[in-house]
C-alpha cells in the first residue's frame, strides 16, 4: 500500500509541476476535459485515486491526515460527476480568464499536498 500512496503522491507532484511550468498546457487540456464524457472521466479518476489514497493511508506516517486528503479527493470526484456541463464550462471560462499566473498559484496546492503524502509514505515513524 505504501507504493500506492507514493504513486498518487508522484502523480500529484507531476500535475503541480506541469501546471506551474506550463499552465497553457492545462488550458489546452481543459478544452477537451470539460465535455460531458471528459467530466465523467475526471470524476472517475478522482474517485479511484481518492479511494486508493484513503485505503493506503494506513501505511503512511500520518494516516489520519492522508485519509482526510483521500476523502476530500473522493468527494471532489463525486461532486465533479454531479456538476452540469454548462456550469463546468462556466467554471473553466472563469479560470482561463484569470490567466496563467492564477493557475500557477492554484497548482501549488496539489504540488505541496503531493510532497506531503510522499514524505509521509517514505519516512518511518519515530519511536518514543
pLDDT in tens, 31-87: 778 888 888 999 999 999 999 999 999 999 999 999 999 999 999 999 999 998 889
How many structural domains compose the chain? 1
Q: What pLDDT is recorded for position 3?
A: 94
Residue 57 belongs to a domain: yes
Calculate the CA 101 to chain-centre distance. Answer: 19
Residue 68 belongs to a domain: yes
Q: In a 10 Å sphere around its CB, with 0-12 CB exposed, 13-18 middle and 19+ buried, how is residue 120 labelled?
A: buried
- 115's enclosing H/E stretch is helix 100-122
Furthest C-alpha separation in the chain: 54
Cβ-based neighbours of 93, under 8 Å, separated by 6 or more? none
Residue 127 belongs to a domain: no
Residue 128 belongs to a domain: no
- CA 72 – CA 106 distance, rounded (Å): 16
Q: Dump pLDDT digits (tens) for 76-126.
A: 999 999 998 889 888 888 888 888 899 899 999 999 999 999 999 998 765
10 or 88, greater pLDDT:
10
25 or 47, greater pLDDT:
47
Q: What pLDDT is recorded for position 29?
A: 78
CB 81, CB 24: distance < 8 Å: no
Q: Mark residue 99 as left, alpha or beta (left: phi above 0; alpha: psi -120 to 50; beta: remaining).
A: left
Q: Which domain holds residue 87?
A: 2-122
Cβ-based neighbours of 69, under 8 Å, separated by 6 or more? 53, 113, 117
Amino acid at each position: 500500500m505504501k507504493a500506492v500512496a507514493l504513486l498518487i503522491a508522484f502523480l500529484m507532484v507531476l500535475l503541480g509541476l506541469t501546471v506551474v511550468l506550463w499552465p497553457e498546457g492545462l488550458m489546452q487540456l481543459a478544452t477537451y476535459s470539460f465535455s460531458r464524457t471528459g467530466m465523467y472521466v475526471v470524476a472517475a479518476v478522482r474517485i479511484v485515486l481518492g479511494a486508493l489514497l484513503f485505503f493506503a493511508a494506513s501505511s503512511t506516517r500520518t494516516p489520519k491526515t492522508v485519509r482526510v486528503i483521500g476523502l476530500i479527493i473522493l468527494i471532489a470526484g463525486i461532486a465533479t460527476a454531479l456538476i452540469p456541463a454548462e456550469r463546468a464550462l462556466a467554471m473553466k471560462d472563469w479560470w482561463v480568464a484569470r490567466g496563467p499566473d492564477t493557475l500557477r498559484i492554484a497548482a501549488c496546492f496539489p504540488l505541496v499536498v503531493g510532497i506531503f503524502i510522499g514524505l509521509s509514505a517514505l519516512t518511518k515513524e519515530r519511536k518514543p
